[in-house]
Amino acid sequence: MRMRSWLVMGLMAWSVAGCGDTEDTTKTGRLQLRTGKNVAEAPACTLEGPACAAGTQCMSFMLDGKREQRCLGTEVCTDWLRCSGGTQCVILESYPAQVACSGTCTGSDCDTAVSSPATP
């Protein structure tokens, strides 16, 4: 349990570290399905239940502009989803777990970071 506390504190510090930036240069990668995968193959889940099958957990992610919640295992980033622009797929501890892209995205297949101001 002590290790988990350090991990959560580290993730919080990492997420707050970028708050002072004033430049609008950060781009985030997009989650994309791996070839041959279809999210409809994984059972949908909600906060209200029912519980996911053993070996899986409820995971939330944005795919093609739509929020999905599916019962998936920890192999979600190696077998199901990938990130664009050289970013890395990560699972953030929460309920439901959040699957996102980490790192700065390069190329044309990127999204503007949420904290970046909109341009006129």
Task: Tell me the DSSP string of 35-84.
Answer: TT--GGGSPB--TT-PPPPTT-EEEEEEETTEEEEEEE-TTIIIIIEEES
How far apart are the C-alpha atoms of 52 and 44, rounded to whole Å? 9
Is 27 within 8 Å of 116 (Cβ atoms)? no
Q: Does the structure show a pLDDT above 60 at 10?
A: no
Q: Does 112 or 17 have the greater pLDDT score?
A: 112
Q: Does the structure show a pLDDT above 60 at 13?
A: no
Say what the pLDDT of residue 49 is: 83
Cα 44 to its chain centre, rounded Å, is 17
Residues pairing with 101 in the sheet: 89
Is 67 within 8 Å of 60 (Cβ atoms)? yes
For residue range 34-86, list pLDDT tens digits in order: 999 999 999 999 988 889 999 999 999 999 999 999 999 999 999 999 999 99
Say what the pLDDT of residue 55 is: 95
How far apart are the C-alpha atoms of 101 and 91, rounded to whole Å? 9
Element holding 10 (H helix, E strand): helix 2-17
